[in-house]
Amino acid sequence: MAVGLVLAGCANTVEGTATVDQAQVTSYKAEAATSAAAASSSRAAAAIAKATGDNCDAFRKAATTQVDRYNEFVDAHDGSAGDQSAKRDAAATALEDAAKTVETQVAAAGPNLPAELSGKFTDYVAAARALAAEIRKMSVGSSVVPLNDGSKKVNDALTAVRNGCPAK
């Protein structure tokens, strides 16, 4: 008997024409658009965070090496050490390598890297290359004024980037 009732219930048809509730359609479309925008925004935020992290991490590593080599050169120059020329070349190379690393990372990040931070990295690259050029000109007895000026610009750029990067 239960089977018969189910069959009888399914055999009934409903008369009329199907219609769409426009208020529900509008609400659904708005929810779908909001969801899509949130997903897109989330992807963009993740790309920005990754680009920032990748660039800041590479910068920290490159800057640490560059600062160490530069300080070793300054100590050798100030002490008129016998390995002054080797340390001069190592410092200049470290600055050039750091500049190239940072420049490559910034280019790879493209538009995902915030423009303000990208500008700070670009300023560092220019300052590092200029200091490397000044270092290569140094010899025993050379004036340290150009070196000090270049060092100040690099230090200012280092500070600006460090302040622009998230804390580690």
Q: How far apart are CA 104 and CA 121, in angstroms?
A: 11
Q: Is the pLDDT of residue 38 over 70?
A: no
Which stretches of the chain are DSSP H helices? 2-10, 22-78, 84-109, 115-137, 145-164
Residue type, 111: P
In which band, very low, low, confident or very high, does the pLDDT at 6 lie, cut at 50, 70 and 90? very low
Q: Is the pLDDT of residue 101 over 80?
A: yes
- The residue extents of the domains of the chain are 29-164
Backbone dihedral region of 81: left (phi > 0), alpha (psi from -120 to 50 degrees) or beta? beta
Q: How far apart are CA 40 and CA 44, in angstroms?
A: 6
C-beta of residue 113 within 8 angstroms of C-beta of residue 50: no
From residue 41, how far is each of 29, 38, 63 by CA, in Å?
A: 18, 5, 32
What pLDDT sits at residue 43? 81
C-beta of residue 84 within 8 angstroms of C-beta of residue 132: no
Residue type, 56: C
| pLDDT tens for each residue of 50-100 | 888 888 998 998 889 999 999 999 999 888 888 989 999 999 999 999 999
